[in-house]
Structure 1
Amino acid sequence: MYKAFYGLNDNPFSIAPNPHYMFLSDRHREALAHLTYGLGETGGFVLLTGEVGTGKTTVSRCLLEQIPDNTDTAFILNPSLTELELLATLCDELEIAYGDNPTLKQLTDLISMYLLNNHKNGRNTVLIIDEAQHLRSEVLEQLRLLTNLETNTKKLLQVILIGQPELQQLLKRQDLRQLAQRITARYHLLPLNKEEIALYVQHRLQVAGRHEPLFTRKAIAALHKHSGGIPRLTNLLCERALMAGYGQVKVPIDHKMVDQAAVEVLGDIDVSHDKRWPFVAATALVLAFGLSFYWFNRSNIDENSNVATLSPKNDEQIITPASEEIKATSQVVAQAKPAVNAQQQILHQAMLQSRSIDNAFAGLFGLWNKQPIIGLSACQAAQQQALACYQQQGNWHSIMRLNYPAVVYLQDTQANVFYGVIVERQAEQILLQLGEQQFWVNKDWFDRHFSGTFEILWQPDSVLPREIGQSSSLSQVQWLENSLARVNQRPARLLTRFDNELEQQLMSFQRQHGLKPDGIAGNQTLIQLNLYLSQQGPRLNSAEVNR
């Protein structure tokens, strides 16, 4: 329903386990490493636990993709079975034929024979049981007996138990201590943290075709708060919030919409009631009367002192800053107030008319002598015109360092989001376009209104490699050295390998730009380098293009 509105090709937050949307956080990768180790040469039992919706099935699917071709796999999704039913299900999964009304011994013998033949033919056998917390103790004991079949070096049947935290408690029972001692690897999958939730949401949006961010920073924090970092709950909340945004014709999704989605999806949300509220309210009322006169006289001057020049796009008239007209005498201040209020009203009206990110991107496209394309998102339209999008979290210095015109996500004093385009920079002032008007504002005004998210357009000079590291070709390593040398304005060295000095230079560059300093030039690092090196397109300060 809302896909076209958000520029999506698919529903990004379906709870169906679509492998195209698979997102592996550091926790998921660590869990996968533990399971892979547990399925090594020795075999035995491997245990994966985690709360509902944390991604245990995702990890198991990744594991299945990595299992060698010489492995036969049985997957049991409903473990609420008796011993006889479990063995019959295992036979069904492995395509082992058995007669009518088999006994426990007959099924055990058939499975044992199958395992021995597999071992003789150089094949492995793996049994994966999901929702294993529902297994009965006698069924678990039967599984242990099946794993008794072994050679001098390995078990012939390897078992992966996947379940909720109750499975750990189940395995602590005295009568299951022998099985617990055979677990060669175990991992408890924790929920995602706030940073991982942000990456998770953006990953799913990108797979669905939208590369620009859709949720504000506060919305991501609200998602993490209400979902507890559980991906499945995050999907439900995002889906409901997108429906709300579509209904309100509003982009991006803010924290208020996420809060409302949480009420609808999760039911009543506990809100702490502070018993001191009546006292606080009364105190605030008294203070309001006491401070009202002071703020009345200060507010107009303070706000306007941060707006350097107002230049309507369709009007050549330049309005001189009221702050420069204000002198020390109260008489001059009184005379200046009408001009101050007029500028404030114009600025406030421009902020109210800048709620559409599409209008902001239209302004950014104009700086590149390009234009939006109806029916496509901003990034899709950019790709059609040989440009690329780049979104980043940062501050004033992050934007000025890149030196590209940028769409910036801003907030007014009531935390309402609006969008502007940074067009030009002069010292500590920037030319900010809001709708059809442009304003010179200083760094202090920008810092107070900037939400931390910005997006730029850029023109890649060449196809980027996937990453450059220790095992990369010498030509790629030399390109990396040359690029870092240009950024740091130093002579490039002639390299014969990816040496320690290059790694330190790379890590320093990564730290400077808020990237993970891992000494490997991955996608984000390579984009940052190319942004510095590119000679194409407009800049905020043309004098700084050739660094």
Structure 2
Amino acid sequence: MYEQFYGLDERPFSITPNPRFVYLSQRHQDALAHLLYGVGQGGSGGFVQLTGEVGTGKTTLCRLLLEQVPEHTRIALILNPMLDPPELLRAICAELEIDLEGVGGLQDLQSRLNHYLLDCHARGERVVLIIDEAQNMSREGLEQIRLLTNLETNTDKLLQIILLGQPELRLLLARPELRQLAQRITARYHLDPLNQNECEHYIRHRLAVAGAERCPFSRDAMKALFHASGGVPRLINIIADRALMAGYAHELERIDAHTVHEAAREVAGDAWDEGSGWLRGVLATIVVLLILAGGGALSWTMLKTSEREAPGTRPAWMTILDEADMSLAASELASQWPELDAESILRACAGEVDEQAACRLERGSWRFIQRLGLPVILRLGADEPALLVLVGLNEHQALLSHRGQEYRVPIGQLDRRWLGEFYVVWPDRGEILRVGDESPRVAQMKQLASRVPELEWTGSIDARYDDDFAAWVSRFQRLHGLTVDGMIGPATRLHLGVPHESGPSLATSLDGV
């Protein structure tokens, strides 16, 4: 939207990782050096620990590390460490492409991994295990990876382990029961946010990469950006992007501190007015004034070309945001589910008990929605968000449905408004299945459990809910971040895939739609 106005080739502050925009402060360089030390011979088979607040750049450093690993190095990257020991070992083996045919329990997994590591050592190869979000690991999971460091020859450790996590990881490893693991950490580094000087260099660097010939932020605006973001790169990106959008709407050649503060307030969610954001209101007002004034200072060419806007004002899908409430979304979603009506959906999503529908407010990524595979209601914005039904999704586009009409939307446009929250709705009477139950419904759950790729149920497909199946359900719930109680309620049924048996599917191929 603002690129042409500020002489940019592209948006400089997108939160999507882009290697061209990487800025390495001195602390980021030091952190990367610690990671490379761990991958190389310097790790000596101990643990390397990198911690930092959310958004400080740990994932970016991990990407850089993977691009710089030495030759003859094999990497296993675990992104979801909320696993019990057997599941964790299976995930590691899957990352290393170890054949697990015929492998049974924990001992078999350890034996197969040990043989693989010995073979790699004989070929002169190093094996490195990287665990992201390690603060979410259970005590049992941490103990299991400590035991992996016992795999060794007479002269060398066979596995190097790197732990990435939020500051809570340091507190976790300080517990007395984990002191054996803590003693094996050979390198520690905590990634702090940028200081004020680094923050300014970071902003100028990203603007330069995006093609800017001058910096549109005043010196006071730079200071305001630092204080509003706390020096956290991800927050700098979000606030700076909003400030540039507001500057464009106000035709500001230089963005001042006031504009940054207003942008930061919107990002924090406390400056939205009457269901529409401050920036959205500013933009709508400016567009109307331009139309009434015949274009004003901004040319129609600029107005039409920014973000591929439809003739007149905004992209077609944005014109429905102001009326996109929960009532309309419920009606639209009900048209996707023959078994549901809008009233049931509204009751369920309001937290009331409904005999027909279940509704969960989830938070996740586009990939998470694709994994669920169902149409969902997106919450776009903060406070009083616009609510739109998502019926299709691929890597580049989303398909929204409103009042029976479908709108194709580039993912990048939605990313500016979507904070990751959505409602998922499906038919469910709310029954709870538990140990001691015996019914065809239990057999149905076991049948679905036998199809779970990462945690296949290998027991009998009968109608009895026994202790073994309850234990499997607990592992499944832990894997998906659900309440671990060993019982099957609506949320567990959702993740098992029950709604897919008769319901609509989220379209993934949008060709011809």
Give me the TM-score of the superposition, normalised by structure 2: 0.51
Alignment partners' CA distance in 2, 1:125 and 1:34: 17
Correspondent of 1:212 among 211, 214, 218? 214
Alignment partners' CA distance in 2, 1:226 and 1:151: 52
Post-superposition CA distance 1:280-315 (Å, at most 9, x none): xxxxxxxxxxxxxxxxxxxxxxxxxxxxxxxxxxxx
Match of 1:329 in 2: none
Match of 1:37 in 2: 37
Post-superposition CA distance 1:37-71 (Å, at most 9, x none): 33342132100001100111122222222210210
Q: How does 1:252-263 map to 2 (within 5 A)?
A: 252-263=254-265
- The CA deviation at 1:196 is 0.5
What letter is aligned with 2:259? M
Alignment partners' CA distance in 2, 1:157 and 1:168: 22
Where structure 1 has 5 or more consecutive residues not aligned to the other structure, the ranges are 270-355, 357-374, 376-547
Alignment partners' CA distance in 2, 1:100 and 1:241: 58
- Tell me which moved more, 205-214 or 38-47: 38-47
- The CA deviation at 1:11 is 1.5
Q: How does 1:509-524 map to 2 (within 5 A)?
A: none
Alignment partners' CA distance in 2, 1:60 and 1:173: 26
Given the alignment of the two structures, is residue 17 of structure 1 paired with residue 21 of structure 2, yes or no?
no
- The CA deviation at 1:100 is 6.4
Correspondent of 1:161 among 154, 160, 163? 163
What letter is aligned with 1:30? D
Alignment partners' CA distance in 1, 2:156 and 2:186: 12
Secondary structure at the counterpart of residue 191 of structure 1: coil
Given the alignment of the two structures, is residue 200 of structure 1 paired with residue 202 of structure 2, yes or no?
yes
Match of 2:175 in 1: 173
Alignment partners' CA distance in 2, 1:232 and 1:165: 17
Match of 2:252 in 1: 250
Alignment partners' CA distance in 1, 2:198 and 2:60: 16
Post-superposition CA distance 1:142-164 (Å, at most 9, x none): 00111111234432111110000
Alignment partners' CA distance in 2, 1:100 and 1:150: 25
Alignment partners' CA distance in 2, 1:25 and 1:153: 37
Match of 2:81 in 1: 79
Calculate the aligned-residue CA RMSD, in Å: 1.7
Q: Which has the larger radius of gyration?
A: 1
Q: How does 1:377-416 map to 2 (within 5 A)?
A: none
What letter is aligned with 1:60? C
What letter is aligned with 2:248? Y
Alignment partners' CA distance in 1, 2:118 and 2:8: 51
Alignment partners' CA distance in 2, 1:157 and 1:163: 20
Secondary structure at the counterpart of residue 30 of structure 1: helix
Given the alignment of the two structures, is residue 150 of structure 1 paired with residue 123 of structure 2, yes or no?
no
Identity of aligned residues (%): 58
What letter is aligned with 1:267? G
What letter is aligned with 2:24? L
Q: How does 1:304-343 map to 2 (within 5 A)?
A: none
Q: In 2 relative to 1, CA 170–241 (structure 1 residues): closer, same or farther, beyond 3 Å?
A: same
Given the alignment of the two structures, is residue 7 of structure 1 paired with residue 7 of structure 2, yes or no?
yes
Where structure 2 has 5 or more consecutive residues not aligned to the other structure, the ranges are 272-296, 298-304, 306-513
Alignment partners' CA distance in 2, 1:153 and 1:67: 23
Alignment partners' CA distance in 2, 1:242 and 1:254: 10
Alignment partners' CA distance in 1, 2:75 and 2:203: 32
Check whether the contact 1:17–1:58 (CA below 8 A) recurs between aligned residues. Answer: yes
Correspondent of 2:138 among 136, 139, 145? 136
Aligned residues: 271
Post-superposition CA distance 1:185-240 (Å, at most 9, x none): 01000000011011101111111111311211101100110100000000010010
Q: In 2 relative to 1, CA 153–23 (structure 1 residues): closer, same or farther, beyond 3 Å?
A: farther
Match of 2:267 in 1: 265
What letter is aligned with 2:3? K
Secondary structure at the counterpart of residue 81 of structure 1: coil
What letter is aligned with 1:196? E
Secondary structure at the counterpart of residue 72 of structure 1: strand
Alignment partners' CA distance in 1, 2:136 and 2:116: 27
Check whether the contact 1:35–1:186 (CA below 8 A) recurs between aligned residues. Answer: no
What letter is aligned with 2:234? R
